[in-house]
Amino acid sequence: MTGLSVQTENLVKNYRMGTGEVSVLKGISLSIGAGELVALTGASGAGKSTLLHILGTVDRSTSGVVMIGERRMEEESENARANFRNRSIGFIFQFHHLLPEFSAFENVLMPAWIHQESSPSLEGRATALLERIGLGKRVQHRPSELSGGEQQRVAIARALLLHPGLVLADEPTGNLDTHTSLEVFHLLRELNREEGMTLILATHNESLARFSDRTIHMEDGRILDKAPGGESETPVVQ
């Protein structure tokens, strides 16, 4: 699948708290082109994760428009949203959420197994992805036998198994040391170019955000700026 464009218009998200409401997103309007790598920055509580949850169709906005590709997501039924999410969106989290009793290979295949799919082509895809991320010799290792960086690489491969057009990464390097964070970001940048998917990366790490195609900065539920990433090359891993 080629990358999916993302557009929002006046996106608002409120949560009921007791007898009142808390406003988390306050009129977010943005446009992200197919195949872009966009860094979403801002302090904790700025609304980054809430925005990713809505873009990933796991939550609904209170009001506003979300367009992913040609689909207006707030008009879709829950079943249609779930099918679209499972087929077209990949998720990478700060905590990798690998299943401890399964090998790296089996964890990567999990999205296909959820769909009750199993085929030589998907197994080949899982193997190829593990080889591509440098774990070709560790496909049968369980998460407890892998380092934190290796576990996050498995989570990246899992997110890409079904060729999603959109990948959402929520602080994917938040639990990694500086060197490993650079390695993981470098890998995401390369995969973004090779696979062609649109990648939206929420991060506190401003030094990594500089190497995205574009940075969108959030504060208190609003977008403050939509600046270019500022660098043309990915960071060098020392």
Q: How far is CA 55 from CA 12, 21, 123, 227, in A?
A: 12, 22, 29, 20
Question: Using CA atoms, how far apart are residues 228 and 206, in angstroms rounded to an integer?
Answer: 13
Mean pLDDT over the full length of the chain? 86
pLDDT tens-place string over residues 54-105: 999 999 999 999 999 999 998 989 999 998 998 899 998 877 789 999 999 9
Question: Using CA atoms, how far apart are residues 189 and 35, in angstroms rounded to an integer?
Answer: 11
Percent of all residues in the chain with a pLDDT value above 70, rounded to a whole number: 93
Q: For residue 66, what pLDDT is reported?
A: 95
pLDDT tens-place string over residues 151-210: 888 998 999 998 999 999 988 877 777 887 888 788 888 888 988 999 999 988 777 788
Nearest to 231 by CA among 214, 202, 30: 214
Reading the block at residue 217, the tokens are 């900065």
Domains of the chain: 6-228 (3.40.50.300)
Nearest to 25 by CA among 41, 14, 40, 37: 14
pLDDT beyond 90 at 134: no
Q: How many CB atoms lie within 10 A of CB 71?
A: 15
pLDDT tens-place string over residues 18-51: 788 889 999 999 999 999 999 999 888 889 999 9
**Beta strand pairing status for 166-170 and 89-93?**
parallel
The pTM for the full model equals 0.85
Contact 229, 210 (CB under 8 A): yes
Percent of all residues in the chain with a pLDDT value above 90, rounded to a whole number: 48
Q: How far is CA 92 from CA 34, 152, 233, in A?
A: 19, 8, 23
**Residues 176, 179, 185, 187, Cα dihedral to 10°:** -110
Contact 83, 29 (CB under 8 A): no
Q: For residue 166, what pLDDT is reported?
A: 96
Residue 54 — φ and ψ, nearest 5°? -75, -40
Q: For residue 238, what pLDDT is reported?
A: 36
pLDDT beyond 90 at 52: yes
pLDDT tens-place string over residues 159-176: 999 899 999 998 887 777
